[in-house]
Structure 1
Amino acid sequence: MTPPRILIVEDETALAEVVRDYLSAEGMAVDVLFEGTDAVSTALTGNHDLLILDLMLPGVDGLTICRELRRTSDVPIIMTTAKVEEIDRLLGLGLGADDYLCKPYSPRELVARVQAILRRAAGRADHAATAPASRLEIDTERWVARLDGKALNLTRREFMLVHSLAARPGRVFSRDDLLARAFPDDTEVFDRTIDSHIRNIRRKIATISDNDPIRSVYGVGYSYDG
């Protein structure tokens, strides 16, 4: 069985080495970066199962790294910070990190959190392998989305929204999340424009089915529960 592969991005050398040793003792393969410049490319190309990401880093900060990764990757992220008040701010930003930990922390607690997240990820993969086929089909080459086998006839922006929501079923995305993931380079789309696009998507869904897979979460955003 292939051991889980973990990437640590931490500029405190002593801390990074201690965490690496604890994770290695649990049978995990561990890579370490001491600054943020190459973190995104390394995470995307290194087949890592989880990322331990410090907030304050030389080169590129953890906030930027997390945002960049969440545009294209669902790799689990544990974000660490030296300030407890930062955790509230990070949660409010809805960055998509899977867990947050304040320094100084116990390496044993971090290992336990890593193991818990890896178990959840494995459980989701097992469920996906045995679950019935999704009602929604996304064809990214032809820019076509089908619900229950019928084309939704989405515009480009509507397609990008549906694709972003359906990529992580059940996860609640804030409007800012959706802006960053679906429209990273589109300066004409604003947070409240998301609501208008969702209404249009729902009208098209209603022509096919009474069962709307897009769920509104009051005060937060939307999720795909199909």
Structure 2
Amino acid sequence: MSDYLQLPQVPSHPPADEQQLLTRARALAGMPLGWLAEQAGWVTPDTLSRAKGWSGQLIELYLGASAGSRPEQDFPELGIELKTIPVNSSGTPLETTYVCIAPLLGLNGVSWQQSNVRNKLQKVLWVPLDGRREVKPADRCIGMPFLWQPAADEDALLRADWEEITERIILGQIQQITARHGQALQLRPKAANSKALTAAIGPEGDTIQTLPRGYYLKTDFTARILQRALQNSW
């Protein structure tokens, strides 16, 4: 592992500015997750199917993210969210990208500009990861990270999806919303088990109990983000 002797230590403080964040992130490019975990005193799971979020938490540790589980950006002082994205050998996303929990009540009068979806996506540090299942988690390497802000067309697409989904929630159609709705953004159940219920508006305007929902970016949308980043790096 002599190639990795220059690896920065786990920082004791959040990055002071955007440049320091990028410097920390780029220093991780090419690093195997298992080696990073070992240096941090972490145990690398044999499979990530039951350790969702483990790789993202490891990268957060090395970047000095401070938000934890709070509903704000991972780097609130910088207004930047961190998103890891598993890709195959061609750089194609292998799964949708979780954005945030979807509120199911109190949405009347809430605009796109006020939404947590927009807050989370206004500036994102994308960190590609080797997501191939045939590669052990310990041997999966980190790709080259990049900063992204939605272009006008991307913001318009996200806004249209969010507004359509929000209208359906307000109208009591939560049970009819499927992952097929939306071109860039989708709404899906987000719960540890079927007993974790939350309140929502029912079809008759009453309050019902349903599974919590989360917003996710579709793979076609994130694939275009990655493609643009690749083109801009040439």
Q: TM-score, normalised by structure 1?
A: 0.30
Q: Indicate the structure whose relative CO is greater, using CA pairs within 8 Å and at least 6 residues apart.
A: 2
Q: TM-score, normalised by structure 2?
A: 0.29
More helix by share: 1
